[in-house]
Structures are given as C-alpha cells and as structure tokens.
Structure 1
Amino acid sequence: MLKGREALYKCSIVLVLLLSSILAFPLPVQASTLHALLLRSDPQAGSTLSQPPKVVRLWFTEPVELVGKPIRVYAPSGAELAIGAASVHGLEVSIPLLAQQKGTYLITWQVVSDDTHPASGSFVFHVSYVAGVWASTTSGNTSQTGFWLQLLAHLLHYLGFALGFGSLAFLLLVLRPLTLVSETIRDRILKLSNYGLLLLIMAEGVSLIAQVVSLHPGGAFDSSIAEGLLLSSFGRVWALRLAAALLLWILLGIARQDYFKSGIAMLILGGALGLLDGTASHAINSLLAWLALLANMLHVTAMGVWLGGLLSLLTLWREKEIQIQRRAVILSFGGLAAIAVIELVLTGIVMAWLYEVRPTNIFSSVYGLVLTAKAASLFIPLLFVAISRKNQHAHKRWWWLELLALLGILSLAATLVTLPPPS
C-alpha cells in the first residue's frame, strides 16, 4: 500500500513538471500579441512613392491614447525629422510631415490601448527608390523583454493579491468561526498579508518598467515615455492600484487592535481591487463591459481565496491550536475552496463567451492554446485534493503539490492577461 502511494506521488510530481514545461515553452511575441493592432497605414509599409508624403496616418483596431512622441519619422540619412503635433480622430492617428529626401524612411509608433496595454511597432516606406541607412530594415513590433516584464508584473500582482487578501479571507471565514484566532495565529496571517502588500507594490514598479520598455523603439527605459504613461489610462489604473496597496498597509496596522473590523474593510478593498483589475484587462473591451468586469472581479478573488487560503493553511499547519482541530479546519477550508473552484469555472466560461473566443480560435492562436492549457490544468490541483482526502495521513504532501499546480495556473492566467483574445 505504501509503495502504491509513493508511485502515485511520483506520478503527481511528473504532472506538475509537465505543467511547468508548458509554462517554460517560449511564446512567440509577434504582432498578434499586441492589444491595439495596426490595421493599415498611409503610406503603406514597404510601399514606394513618387513624392514624399505630407501626412502620415495610422489606423488601429481600437481607440488608443498617445504617449510621449507617438510617431517618429527618420529620414534616409538616419536623422529624425521634425514633425507636427499628432492628432487622434477615432481609430486614426495622424501627423503632418515635411520630407524632401529620396530613399527609405523609417516610421516608429507607440500608443496605449483602452485596456492600458502598450502597443508599438515600426515600418519603412520608400520615396522613388530603396536607399539609405534603413534600406535593409523590416517592420518590427513590441520587444520580447517588454512582453515578459508585463507577464512578470501580472504574476507578482496576482500572488500579492492572494497573499494580501486570500490569507485574510482564511482568517475571517475559516479560523474565526472555529474560534481559533489566537494572537500568534493572527500575527502569522497578518505577516502573510504584509508579504502580499510587498508583492503588490513590486508589481507596480515592474509594470511601469514593462510599459516603458514595450513602447521604446530600442527597448530601453525612457523618462519621457514614463511621464506620458502616468498621464494616460494606464497611469490612472497604476495610481489606484498603488493607493489600494497603501490603504491595505494602513488597515494592516489597525488590524493588530481589531482584526475583525479591519479585516472586513480589507476584504472589501480586495473586491474593489479585483474590479479595478478588470479595467486593465480584456473586460473593458468585451461585449458587455459591466458583466465582464463583474466576472473578472469574481474570477480574481476566487483564485486569491483558494491560493491564499492554501498558503495560510500550510503556514499554520504546525500551530498547536490548528493541530487540535485540524479536521474541522480542513473541512471548513475545503468548503470555501469548493465554492472558489465553482466560481472560477463559471466566471471563466462567462469571460470566454464575452471575449468571443470561438472554437476555431482555440488551436489557431497563442491565446487559445494558453486558455486551453489553463482550463485543463485546473484538473491537476483538483486531483490532488481528491487524493489527499483518501490519504488522511499525507495531507500536507499533497497540498504542496496542489500549491505548485495553482502557481502554474496563476502563471498561465498572467500570460492570458498579457495576450489579447483572438480577433
């Protein structure tokens, strides 16, 4: 019997490693990974004109905001041309241009889409003939460094959310009804929440760097771009997220005097932060924005409660008060986690419908493949939960595997937020 359990445990480790290998597989960062896509331009990319254009026009798939110098034009000599102020009319961005040289011109552009994600790219056109320093240049898109930094920022944010608010949900919804909130347990939960606070703040720092790097033509940090970003829709969401983190910090200080009232306030703050996250996701551009925002909030909070609760349980496992009532704690948290799983499934289905993810797109786009992997991966931690119920003396071992699987799913979720749904 023991050998059978050890074999099952080793098979489970293989499953977790398989999920990790999916996450480690490099994603292609092409034009399809941008949230606002360049539909067409005038002059067209790669075209040859008889006379230099007087205006450069770009059309995008959705309304955009201008950041820094949204359009730069470089002459065949390599020098940047002086251009007029850019203007936005619906989906069109245009700038007046005074060009005289013959040869190949380079145009770079950078904008922020409605869901606060950066989009940038470049293309060339020719006047009379191909010549100059840009003659061998091809069209380009957002940097891979920027993409991976965005993904890291989302992952840190979700981890911070789970630790910051999920652990508090465990304290109020599991431990308090069982009268297991001693001073030691309360302090350990608040310490977890403080770790979450630190991750939330770190996430915003990485997010700002990621946005700037994604928009800069050379993939470097530019203070002028950062200044423009802070004045855009991204900057508003960024500031509100930081404000939520600072408010959590204040409430955590109050919690040492009255953990219940401040805990309720912090859970409300977590719900508000989950709603705010929706404004920086695909929800803002979905069929029914209000329903997508609500579904996104419930989805994020459900994952936070499940992951944060599991981390709290593992942290408190050896505490004397918990050891005495372990079975009651496990049953109570099991019910809470079951509700979170149902919420994750239902809201995931709603969001997939609202984002118009068609069956034909599931295997023909990066977004569809990641979405499929995330949905399939949900069965792995559920399998560990089922096994742990049958192996009453090995709960903790299976919970560590459940935790690793949840972290893998969280990474896939961060990838989905970074990628756009297929158009």
Structure 2
Amino acid sequence: MRTAARAAFAGVLLGLLLAILTPASPASAHAVLKSSDPAADAIVPEAPATVSLVFTEPVQLVAGRIQVLAPDGSRADQGEPSVAGTTVTIRLRGEAQGTYLVSYRVISADSHPIAGAFPYSVGVASTPPVAADDTSAGVDPVVRTAIAVAKYLGYAGLLLIIGPVMVLSLLWPHRLQRRAPGRLVWTGFGLTLASALAALWLQVPYTTGTGLFGGGWSDLQGVLGSTFGAVMLVRIGVVCAAALLVRPLIAGTGGESRSDLAVLTVLGVAAVSTWPLTGHPSASPVAAVSIVIDAVHLAAMAVWLGGLVMLFGFLLPRADERELGAILPIWSRWATVAVGALVLAGTTQALIEVGTLDGLVSTTYGRLMMVKVGLVALVLAVAAYSRRLVQRAAAGGVTRPVRRAVAVELGATAVILAVTAVLVQTPPARTAAAGPAGGQAVTTSYDATLTNESFRLQVTAFPATVGNNSIHLYAYNPDGTPLPVVEWVATAALPAQNVEPIAVDLLRITDNHAIGEVSLPTAGDWELRFTLRTSEIEQSTVAGTVPIR
C-alpha cells in the first residue's frame, strides 16, 4: 500500500514539474497577423493616412501598446487606434520620407497576447527607427511558467470540488465521518480561488509584456474591464456561492435540500463553463460548439478524477466490504460514462483545434496532443483493469488490488493535467499553421558597422531573406563625421555554394549615403564587399557576412 501511495505522489510531483519545466512555444499568442496596409517592407509613394492590421481572430486593444515610429524616431501615430473585429486601424500624422516602424501588442479572442513589429517605407527606404519602449516584446518566461502552474492548480482545485461533492452527496456511507473529505473539498475551493486570483494578477504582465510585478493600476483596470477579467470575476463569484451552499453537505448535518443540490449543480455548470470562455474554444471556428464540448470534457475529467481521489483516499481504506459492494458498481458506471464523455469530447475538440494530419505532427500543439492521447490510452487500460477488479470486489472483495490500480490512474492523470496546462498555453495547430509563430510579423534585417583604417561604413540590408533586398550605406570618418564618397562599388557572393560575386547597383543619395537593390536567389551566408573611392587615388574596401534566410 505504501508503494501505491508513493506512485500516486510521484505522479502528482511529476505533473507539477512538467507544468513548471515544459516550455510553451516561443511566443504565446494564439492568433496571427494575416495582413497589413501598408504591407511589411513595402515602399509606398505617398504617406498613408492610416495603418491597418488584419488578424485571423477578433482582438482587443492594450492601452498604449500600439505605435508607429517615423524615420527620425518620433511618434507618427495620433489618437487612440480603433478596432473592429479582426481589424485594427491606426491614424497617422506627418509625411516624412523614409522607413517607419509599426509595433503592436493586442489580445486575441482566447485571452493571449499577440505582439510583433514590421517596417514600411515612404518614397525611399532608410535605416529603420528603434523603439525605446518595445511594445512587441514577448512574454516573460517567469510569467509564462507562473501561468501554467496557476492553470494546473485551477484544474486540480476543480476536480477536488466536483468529484468529492458528488460522492459525498450520493455515495458516502452515513456511518463514516466527513471531516477528512471535507478538508479535501475546502482545499479544492482554496486552489480554485487562488488560481483565479493569480490568473487576474498574471494577466497584467502577460498582457503588457512586462516582468512578474510589472504593470500598474491602469493595466489592472484594463484587465478587469476585459472579457477575460469579467469571466474570471464570474468564476470567483460562482465558486464563493457554491462554497456557501456546500457547507451543510460537508458538515453532514442534513441541512442541505434538493433545491440546494439543484442550485449547486447549476453553479457547478456555470463554473466549469468559465474555463473554455477564456481559452482556445472561444476563438474556435465553431466557438459555440467548442465551448460546450470543452465544458463537457472538463466536467467529465472532474467527476472521474475527483471520484478516484475519494475512492483511493477514503472509501477503499474506510468502508467495509458490504458498503464497497454497493458503492463500487455505482462508481464504476459513473466512471464509464465520464470516461466516455471525456474521450468523445476530447477527440472532437482535438479535430477542431488540430485540423490536419500535418498539424498533428509538425506543430508543438499537435505533438503535445499526441502525448496526452498516449497517456489517456494508458489510463484507460488501467481503468478497464480496475473495472474488472470492481466486479470481482462486488462478488468477493479484492479492495487492495483496486486501490493499487486507482493509485496508478491518479499518478498518470496528474501528468495528463500538467500536459493540459501546457497545452492551453500553446498556439493551436490551426493558427500555428496560418503564419509566423505567435502571430508576429517581425521583419528580419542585417545591421552592422564595418570598419577599417580609413572609414566606418554603416550597412543595413533588409528584409535579409531570399529575393529582393534593399541595402543602405552610410559612410563616416573614424572620428564619426560624415565622409564624402566619390564612387560606391558593392558585390554579393556566396562562396559556400560557389556563387560568384553579383554586382550591386548603388545610387548616391548624398555625399555619404547610398542605396541599392540586389536579388539574392538562395539562402545562406552571403559575403558583401564594399569599395569606397574618396578621391582620385584613394579607395578602400570592407566586407561583411549577411545571413539570408
């Protein structure tokens, strides 16, 4: 029996460690920037009046987290941006030529942040401005880990409420005291409330991209006023109301009535429904169906696992053979229905979120889903064995093997809960396949300063990808003053693939500034060589390596 207990404890411990140590995808956003106007890296002839961002899902704005920087680094946006469904519109001021930088951070329909940045140019490209306040920063790793742990504890709290309350109200023998299982139920309430409060707190740095204690009162107000905040406040209220109604049941005074149990059931359904309203189902292509399916999945999990905890922790050690002969067959039927609902709902939801076979094997979400399915298959095999033991127990009594089997079920399902806590923080395969991870439209670029004894050359090449690339050159004396250049010559070569030097046509813009365009046909580390002639007899060459992806 001690070995069985150790197995259950090890499963719980491993589950917590998995929730803490398993990384989510590099970005935690669950939607994608589908398009923009102007497009990323575009060169438009005239300054636009607005910038439009179109996402794959409806989004909510984060105050102060959308900006457009002019070529000189000043703010080019004016007023507050507006949002209509999937489209965000930013009004602009100013008509200066050069490269602008758009950075954004919004909240997707499933409560996850979407952050990114991209440049566009008016008239002619220039060196992209640098944002002093990076609104497109990712999620702090500590915040991401804390959210996963909070979700895990929330799931644990839910199953410690629903399953035990059902057992206490319908299966608990009258002669057994309720103090110990009552403490278990109160622990469930404590975990659920603590998880909800932690979720509200963590949503602030999660939304703003700051550290664990980042953000201010205005950011917290923004979270409380969002859909996520409203749902979490409803969860807290419903759980508190359920705690008041469940007190007579835990005390065993008989003060609970049928109407109380009916209201408690309604509150339980309402509480369970708050989970899908702040997760992937709310942004599903068939949101109403996904929300119902996810609620059924979660409720079935809570009934099954919560009942197993009561069975393992209290009924099998304390109930006599006669009582177990009556309880175990009923519990077995409950477990069969709950597991059936769990598998059916989980399969349906997986089909919606994964969408394709390729998404199952090529995305983090799909691979985690396969891990979860494998663990569930293991648990179902143990559950089938437990059911046979229950049938034998009802006939002659074999509670010790039943308890061992239940311990294995609990240990494995603790790991499943951890995988689920990570899974809900991972972009679904249907959105991961729609564009860059996390919906970021961040351009790649090459920025370097190449030096020799004669001059310093500031080089910018973007987007640093296969195809057409813009090159900007600024020449300076070693002391930092502009260097007049008489003639500019540049070549691009890929020695690793025996690509001979390609001439880069350069256009002299000012005495120390030149621009050019070059088509790089394949990925690799391209060698750019620049020769600057500064007089009739003086010239010098510098070189740099540009990674093209």
User: What's the TM-score, normalizing by structure 2?
Assistant: 0.65
Name which of 123, 126, 131 aligns with 1:129. Answer: 126
Which runs of no fewer than 5 residues in structure 1 stay unpaired? 1-5
The corresponding residue for 2:370 is 372
CA separation of 1:328 and 1:405: change in aligned 2, threshold 3 A: same
- Amino acid in structure 2 at the alignment position of 1:55: T
Name which of 177, 191, 204 aligns with 1:199. Answer: 191
- d(CA) in 2 for partners of 1:105 and 1:225? 27
How many residue pairs match? The answer is: 409
- d(CA) in 2 for partners of 1:75 and 1:340? 58
User: Does the 8 Å CA contact 1:27/1:366 hold for their aligned counterparts?
Assistant: no
Match of 2:362, SS?
coil
- d(CA) in 1 for partners of 2:102 and 2:277? 30
- d(CA) in 2 for partners of 1:191 and 1:204? 20
1:164-184: per-residue Cα shift (whole Å, max 9, x none)? 111111223332xxxx03462
1:309-334: per-residue Cα shift (whole Å, max 9, x none)? 11122331576445763444333323
CA separation of 1:243 and 1:25: change in aligned 2, threshold 3 A: closer
1:85-113: per-residue Cα shift (whole Å, max 9, x none)? 21123321012133577776554323222
Name which of 144, 148, 151 aligns with 1:151. Answer: 148
Which runs of no fewer than 5 residues in structure 2 stay unpaired? 390-397, 431-549
The corresponding residue for 2:63 is 68
The corresponding residue for 2:425 is 418
The corresponding residue for 1:97 is 92
The corresponding residue for 1:381 is 379
User: Does the 8 Å CA contact 1:165/1:266 hold for their aligned counterparts?
Assistant: no
- 1:200 deviates by 1.1
CA separation of 1:287 and 1:246: change in aligned 2, threshold 3 A: same
Name which of 379, 388, 407 aligns with 2:414. Answer: 407
- Amino acid in structure 1 at the alignment position of 2:410: L
Name which of 222, 241, 245 aligns with 2:216. Answer: 222
- 1:60 deviates by 0.7
Match of 1:120, SS?
strand
Identity %: 27
Name which of 238, 241, 244 aligns with 1:247. Answer: 241
- Amino acid in structure 2 at the alignment position of 1:400: A
The corresponding residue for 1:3 is none
Name which of 251, 272, 275 aligns with 1:274. Answer: 272
The corresponding residue for 2:310 is 312
Alpha carbon RMSD of aligned pairs, Å?
3.7
CA separation of 1:143 and 1:372: change in aligned 2, threshold 3 A: same
- 1:273 deviates by 1.7
Q: Which sits farther off after the overlay, 353-362 or 140-149?
A: 140-149
Q: Are residues 1:398 and 2:392 paired?
A: no
- d(CA) in 2 for partners of 1:413 and 1:181? 36
User: Does the 8 Å CA contact 2:14/2:415 hold for their aligned counterparts?
Assistant: no
User: What's the TM-score, normalizing by structure 1?
Assistant: 0.82
- d(CA) in 1 for partners of 2:427 and 2:310? 33
Q: Which sits farther off after the overlay, 337-346 or 147-156?
A: 147-156
CA separation of 1:295 and 1:305: change in aligned 2, threshold 3 A: same
Aligned 1:262-341 pairs, distance under 5 A = 262-317=260-315, 320-322=318-320, 325-341=323-339
- d(CA) in 2 for partners of 1:113 and 1:132? 27
Match of 1:39, SS?
strand
The corresponding residue for 1:172 is 169
The corresponding residue for 1:181 is 174
User: Does the 8 Å CA contact 2:272/2:299 hold for their aligned counterparts?
Assistant: yes
1:325-358: per-residue Cα shift (whole Å, max 9, x none)? 3444333323322221111111112223344622
User: Does the 8 Å CA contact 2:20/2:145 hold for their aligned counterparts?
Assistant: no
The corresponding residue for 2:23 is 27
Which has the larger strand fraction? 2
CA separation of 1:350 and 1:200: change in aligned 2, threshold 3 A: same
- d(CA) in 1 for partners of 2:11 and 2:276? 31
- 1:402 deviates by 1.7
Which has the larger helix fraction? 1
User: Does the 8 Å CA contact 1:170/1:305 hold for their aligned counterparts?
Assistant: no
CA separation of 1:297 and 1:322: change in aligned 2, threshold 3 A: farther
User: Does the 8 Å CA contact 1:67/1:229 hold for their aligned counterparts?
Assistant: no
1:199-244: per-residue Cα shift (whole Å, max 9, x none)? 1111112212332222214343333222112112112211111111
- d(CA) in 1 for partners of 2:330 and 2:96? 74
User: Does the 8 Å CA contact 1:77/1:132 hold for their aligned counterparts?
Assistant: yes
